[in-house]
Amino acid sequence: MSRADVLVDASWAESHLDDPKVVFVEVDEDVSAYDKNHIPGAVRLDWKTELQDAVKRDFVDQDQFATLLGGKGISNDATVVLYGGNNNWFAAYAYWYFKLYGHSDVKLLDGGRKKWELDSRNLTDEVPSREATTYTAQPARTDIRAFRDEVIAAIGAQNLVDVRSPDEFSGKLLAPAHLPQEQSQRGGHIPTAVNVPWSKAANDDGTFKSDDELTKLYGDAGLDDSKDTIAYCRIGERSAHTWFVLHEILGHQNVKNYDGSWTEYGSLVGVPIEVGA
Amino acid sequence: MCSPPVGGLSLDGVDVNKESVIQGTVTRDGQPVASAYVRLLDASDEFTAEVVTSATGHFRFFARPGQWTLRALSSQGGGEARVVAQQGQAVDVEVTIPA
Q: Which domains does chain B have, with CATH numbers?
A: 16-96 (2.60.40.10)
Helix count and strand count (H, E) for chain A: 11, 9
CATH fold of A148-265: Oxidized Rhodanese; domain 1 (3.40.250)
State the pLDDT at residue A111.
97
**Rounded Cα–Cα distance for residues B21 and B70 (Å):** 13
Nearest C-alpha in B relative to A173: B64
Cross-chain CB nearest to B8 (options A114, A178, A197): A178
pLDDT at A184: 65
If we measure between CA atoms, which residue out of A28, A56, A17, A76 comes closest to residue A260?
A56
Separation in Å, CA of A120 to nearest CA in chain B: 7
Its sign, for the CA torsion A123, A129, A134, A140, is positive
Instruction: Return the domain boundaries, chain A.
Output: 3-118, 148-265
Amino acid B14: pLDDT: 73
CA distance B14 to chain A (A): 7
CATH hierarchy code of domain A3-118: 3.40.250.10
| Three-class secondary structure of residue A161 per DSSP | strand
Residue A124: which region, alpha, beta or left (left: phi > 0; alpha: psi -120 to 50)? beta
Residues of B in contact with A172 (CB under 8 A): 64
How far is B34 from chain A, CA to nearest CA, in Å? 11
Q: Could you report the predicted ipTM of this complex, rounded to two decimals?
A: 0.77
Mutation for B interface: A29, A114, A178, most B CBs within 10 A: A178
Q: How confident is the model at residue A177, as a pLDDT?
A: 83
pLDDT tens, chain B, 99 aa long: 344 444 444 567 777 788 899 999 999 999 999 999 999 999 989 899 999 999 899 999 999 999 999 999 999 999 999 999 999 888 999 999 998
Q: What are the Cα distances from residue A258, in Å, to A71, A161, A264, B17, B80?
A: 28, 10, 10, 33, 35
Q: What is the DSSP letter of A74?
A: -
List of chain A residues with pLDDT < 70: 182, 184
Which contacts qualify for A147-150: CB closer than 8 Å, 24 or more apart?
Answer: A147/A258, A147/A260, A148/A258, A148/A260, A148/A264, A148/A265, A148/A268, A150/A230, A150/A256, A150/A258
- Using DSSP's 3-state secondary structure scheme, residue A12 falls into helix
Would you state the pLDDT for residue A182? 67
**What pLDDT score was predicted for residue B3?**
41
CB contact under 8 A, A179 and B73: no
Q: Specify whether the backbone of A39 is left (phi greater than 0), alpha (psi in -120 to 50) or beta.
A: beta
- Chain B: residue nearest A180 by CA? B62
Contact between chains at A177 and B40 (C-beta distance less than 8 A): yes
Phi and psi, residue A72, nearest 5°:
-85, -5
Q: For strand B20-28 and strand B58-63, is the pairing parallel, antiparallel, or unpaired? A: antiparallel
How far apart are alpha carbons B70 and B80 in whole angstroms?
6
Q: Quote the CA–CA distance of B5 and B67 in Å, as a whole number.
A: 25
Three-state SS letters, B54-87: CCCCEEEEEECCEEEEEEEEECCEEEEEEEEEEC
Using CA atoms, how far apart are residues A23 and A45, in angstroms rounded to an integer? 12
Q: Please give the Cα distance from A167 to A151 (Å, whole number).
A: 22
pLDDT at site B2: 41
Contact A182 B15 (CB under 8 A): yes
Q: Which residues of A are catalytic?
A: 233
